[in-house]
Amino acid sequence: MAKRKKAAKAKSKAAAKKTAKKVVKFTAKKLAASNGLPRPSAKPWGQAGRALDGVRILDFTHVQSGPTCTQLLAYMGADCIKVERPGIGDITRGQLRDVKGADSLYFTMLNGSKRSITIDSKHAKGKEILDRLVKLCDVLVENFAPGALDRMGLTWEHIHKLNPRMIVASVKGFGPGPYEDCKVYENVAQCAGGSASTTGFRDGPPLVTGSQIGDSGTGLHLALGIVSALYQRNRTGRGQRVLCAMQDGVLNLARVKLRDQQRLKHGPLTEYSQYGEGVPFGKATPRAGNDSGGGQPGWILKCKGWESDPDAYIYFITQAPVWTAICDLIGKPEWKTDPDYATPPARLPRLRGIFDAIEQWTMTKTKFEVMEICNKQDIPVGPILAMKEIA
């Protein structure tokens, strides 16, 4: 019996030694080799190249939406080859020109960090060059009118046959549907995407915004779609089509207004100033002037000098956590405990009067003085800055 125990013990020790021999110490080098990823760079941060180094873009874009996208990719390190029409180039080279004989700022602000080439796609040699570029590049980006790329002979089937890894990315005005063949520009996209109907004052017409959310906004969305497709290609080994419609891009940026449309089914939008004014809501999200798009009420208020300076204004938010500080600042300490003002729900029907009282205080100071004072109290405000002040 004792001999059996000794034999079992010996076997156990041998098995333990055998197992111990199998233990592998994973170094960074072995881990990198096992998962196919490169070893972490030893170079200082910012000196290991840009994110899209090695990616080559065949850029058929023009005007603003497409060039916004490809310029962002170029900024990230992609080699952007911009294809332009012989003798004409991108139409924006000559639009809104401020220096005679030079490319316009409109063109240069959207096409920096790119290389340009002119190709006649109707000429046999031009077609040959385009096919060579398709084979060499990773991404083709275009914002032609619907069907233009196909008429050039660059159908998806032709491109994918030449280069199965090619990603073809397009900006169009509308997505698939009855309007997909319609031509769209910036303000058309704003109007069709729900932005204009919700911008402006309640008693005025719809307004387009000064921000280029239709063109540049869609370019931003397309750039994200492209880098996502590039990442997926690492797994699948093949390219894909990426489509971004300008109407969809605007709607995504106006999503809080779509949210409010859904909320309207369940009652009035209490954070809108018209609620406090007793004005009934209709069936669609209304124009709300300078009301905040979030749950914290806000408004644009006059500051010192507003009589002669069209931008002497500040956006002031009555955020709940700093309400007591606001009351002290504007000389209304009694509002801190007054049941009509002490809580956010109680203040909602009285917003117009509250902002009138705050404005009496902001009008005694410049917008920068208001910002300095409020920031010390953690009160969120934003001065209305003219382009001259920002540039």
pLDDT band at 46 (very low <50, low <70, confident <90, very high): confident
Answer yes or no: 79 catalytic.
Answer: no
4 versus 83: the higher-pLDDT residue is 83
pLDDT band at 293 (very low <50, low <70, confident <90, very high): confident
Pairing of strands 167-172, 79-84: unpaired
Residue partners of 359: CB distance under 8 A and separation at least 6: 301, 302
CA 352 remoteness from chain centre: 32
DSSP 104: -
Of 10-19, 303-312, 324-333, least confident by mean pLDDT is: 10-19
Using CA atoms, how far apart are residues 322 and 153, in angstroms rounded to an integer? 62
pLDDT of residue 37: 81
Using CA atoms, how far apart are residues 130 and 120, in angstroms rounded to an integer? 9
pLDDT of residue 170: 97
Read off the pLDDT of each residue in 294-316 and give the average, rounded to a whole number. Answer: 95
Pairing of strands 79-84, 56-60: parallel
Percent of the chain with pLDDT over 70: 91
Q: Is-contact 361 318, C-beta < 8 A?
A: no
Using CA atoms, how far apart are residues 264 and 285, in angstroms rounded to an integer? 7
Instruction: Reduce the DSSP state of residue 191 to 3 states and report it.
Output: helix
Residue among 79, 215, 248, 291 flagged as catalytic:
215
Q: What is the pLDDT of residues 221-241, one digit of tens each?
A: 999 999 999 999 999 999 999
Question: Does 1 have pLDDT greater than 60?
Answer: no
Question: Does 38 have pLDDT greater than 90?
Answer: no
Using CA atoms, how far apart are residues 316 and 336, in angstroms rounded to an integer? 18
pTM over 0.75: yes
Using CA atoms, how far apart are residues 348 and 190, in angstroms rounded to an integer? 30
292 versus 224: the higher-pLDDT residue is 224
pLDDT of residue 36: 75
Question: Does 3 have pLDDT greater than 70?
Answer: no
With vertex at residue 334, the alpha carbon angle to CA 332 and CA 335, rounded to the nearest 5 degrees, is 75
